Amino acid sequence: MDREYDVFEKFPDGSQIWRAFVKGLIEARARVVELSETSLNEFYAIHTPTKEVVATSPKRYE
């Protein structure tokens, strides 16, 4: 069974906003890459129950 992940966008001021819900590690990583191609902000995917971050995009706003 695939885990479920939430994808968040993190802004330069430290605030964050939820951007997506996905099933499966491959889809989580792909969504982070996809979203990071359209924004200079950082994105990450997290398995909320365990707080395990499974994918991050580089910070490009610094």
Per-residue exposure over 4-40, b if at least 16 CB sit within 10 Å of its own CB, e if not = ebebbbbeeeeeeeebbebeeeebbbebbeebbeeee
Average pLDDT over residues 45-56: 97
Q: What is the CA radius of gyration of the chain?
A: 11
pLDDT band at 1 (very low <50, low <70, confident <90, very high): confident
pLDDT band at 62 (very low <50, low <70, confident <90, very high): low
Neighbours of 49 (CB within 10 A): 8
pLDDT band at 12 (very low <50, low <70, confident <90, very high): very high
The average confidence (pLDDT) of the chain is 93
